[in-house]
Chain A
Amino acid sequence: MFNIMIVEDNQQLQNEIASLLVRNGYSALKTNEFNNIPKIVKESRPHLILLDINLPYDDGLKICTEIRSFSTVPIIFVTSKNTNVDELMSITLGGDDFITKPYNTQILLARINSLLKRVYPNEKSVDVIEYNSIKLNILSSKIEHNDQEIELTKNELKILHYLLINKGKIVSRVDIMEYLWDSSLFVNDNTLTVNITRIRNKFESIGVKDFIKTKRGQGYIV
């Protein structure tokens, strides 16, 4: 499991980011000793660091330089400063990415995910999701069941992926739409209905019945 270190002096925000990360399958390392961050990094060797710029004692840029002197751990700057100069500074000093507050959580997670994948290509990542003898292959955008497989479109893949992340829970239509919008798929209500119907038809064509159930007035569940 990837261990992510959060360097953020706002206690509340630190806790919330931590719980967001834990919920998405990472382990989170919090710290309040802002005067010796590099030492903590040396000792606990996190896989990735989320670093704020405005911190008590040294600022994030300085901490980043210090960490870079002994480690190449990926660093994402998470900050409310959003001038080009700050962005440029943080990248030239060795930061790998730069996200401004208030950030979109889906985008934050996506950036973390893609950075981890790039830096640690050997660690196994979740490219195939299995559930009730159904396999969703995210890389090839296919569903498989008993040696039968069928391709999904971009929208369908995202919808199914989201339903499978939240398996066993009711997912409302608005939740699905927001998730799709975060991936730059700007669908409306009708398109969503059409897409759900198509996914169901595809499931039936490979012999799976009633995979996605409708909860009237609430949403869908798998």
Chain B
Amino acid sequence: MSLGDYLRGRINIIFLNLVSLITLSIFLFSVGNTLDTILTVIITWIIVFIMFLIYEYRKRKLYFDDILRTVERLDKKYLISEIIDLPSFSDAVPYYTLMKKASKSMLEEINKIKTQRKDYNEYIEQWIHEVKTPISSIKLIEENNKTKTSRAVLEELENIDRFVEQALFYARSEEVEKDYLVKEISLEHCVNQVLIRNKRMFISNNIDIEIANININVYCDSKWLEFIINQIIVNSVKYRRSEFPIVKIYIKHINNGIQLIIEDNGIGIPDNEINRVFKKGFTGNKGRLNHKSTGIGLYLCKKLCVKLGLLITAESKENLYTKIVITFPKGNFCNLGAV
């Protein structure tokens, strides 16, 4: 609040004082006072009035500056009404009460929605756990009684399982911190688990795997990391080329960490789209045309990587290759960033 703003707000009082002052001066003059007396009265009046204005202005300025400073420092700004003081000038009190009431009702609304969301998330998790039992059932039935169609059914079942898994991790991605356990894990074991889970997809599409020197330990949560690697590998298969598709998995040591690189020789990502692949809902031209992309997979990867303190980047040349690089930080940085 600047002085100008304040004065503009007080314009009617200033005007009233001016009118009174003139009226008084005329009255004093007409009853026969000397010019000196009138001048003294006018100057005293003006000085007192200006002091009053300055006092009022300072009081307000201190109060509002304090509120503004507090709100800047506040993490959740909508909670300001909870910590604001009762204003010492009476014309602001109704606004104060109003704000208290409004934000109270808003907080109630927010809590209601939070509870609803929590309920919904819990329901989704519950549902996913329930649907996994019939999936296991179908899987076992088909594996126990192999017929000509079993392989196709099992392959589709792998897809269903993947979608269910994605939904589960999406539901959980808001609260990663609730369910993770960072410990030393074998990168090779993680990658193997993912490949085994997708074996039918690889074998039936005749895709080669080339794994090099990934026998190394990193600090991460194995379940989340497996999910991330799974999404990337499924993409490599989805956007493969028709002749001699291959997926290469290898690591590279860099200054402050280890990079896990998953490279395919697939259709690639055009230069103008590569910056957007981690955005939610982004599917790209190729995704839209051929492959029913959802634009969720890589978005989730990025989100989880951020929460786990990993760096994920993409690099590609159209029609040549796509490289997804996950960087695991090492040393002190790891302790600060990931845990």
Contacts and interface: CB of A to CB of B under 8 A. Distances in A.
Interface size class for chain B? 35 or more
B143 A102 contact: no
A117 to B, nearest CB: 21
Contacts of B196: 104, 107, 181-182, 184
B195 A101 contact: no
Interface in B123-176: 128-130, 132-137, 139-141, 143-144, 151, 157, 161
Nearest to A187: B209
A161 to B, nearest CB: 17
A6 to B, nearest CB: 12
B137 A13 contact: yes
A10 B144 contact: no
B118 to A, nearest CB: 16
A17 B144 CA distance: 9
Quick one: which of A80, A102, A181, A188 has the most chain B CB within 10 A?
A102
A186 B209 contact: yes
B140 A80 contact: no
Contacts of B161: 102
A186 B195 contact: yes
A12 B137 contact: yes
A103 B203 contact: no
Contacts of A181: 195-196, 199, 202-203
B140 A84 contact: no
A80 B132 contact: yes
A174 B133 contact: no
A23 interface: yes
Nearest to A17: B140
Given A12-B141, A80-B132, A178 B200 contact: yes
Contact of B132 (A85, A88, A101, A189): A101
A80 B314 CA distance: 33
B180 A84 contact: yes
B199 A85 contact: no
Interface string A68-94: 000000000000111111001000000
A175 to B, nearest CB: 8
A51 to B, nearest CB: 14
A59 B134 CA distance: 19
A10 B131 CA distance: 12
A54 interface: yes
B59 interface: no
B140 A20 contact: yes
B133 A80 contact: yes
Interface in A186-218: 186, 188-189
A13 B136 contact: yes
A85 B207 CA distance: 36
A189 B137 contact: no
A103 B211 contact: no
A105 interface: yes
B115 interface: no
A16 interface: yes
B192 interface: yes
Kindly name the residue among B134, B140, B179, B209 whose own CB sees the greatest number of chain A CB atoms within 10 A. Answer: B140
B45 to A, nearest CB: 76
A178 B207 CA distance: 13
B181 A84 contact: yes
A80 B180 contact: no
A203 B130 CA distance: 50
Contacts of A186: 195, 202, 209, 211
Given A81-B129, A107-B196, A181-B203, 14 more contacts: A54-B129, A80-B130, A84-B179, A84-B181, A85-B179, A100-B132, A102-B132, A103-B136, A104-B196, A174-B203, A186-B211, A188-B208, A188-B209, A189-B206
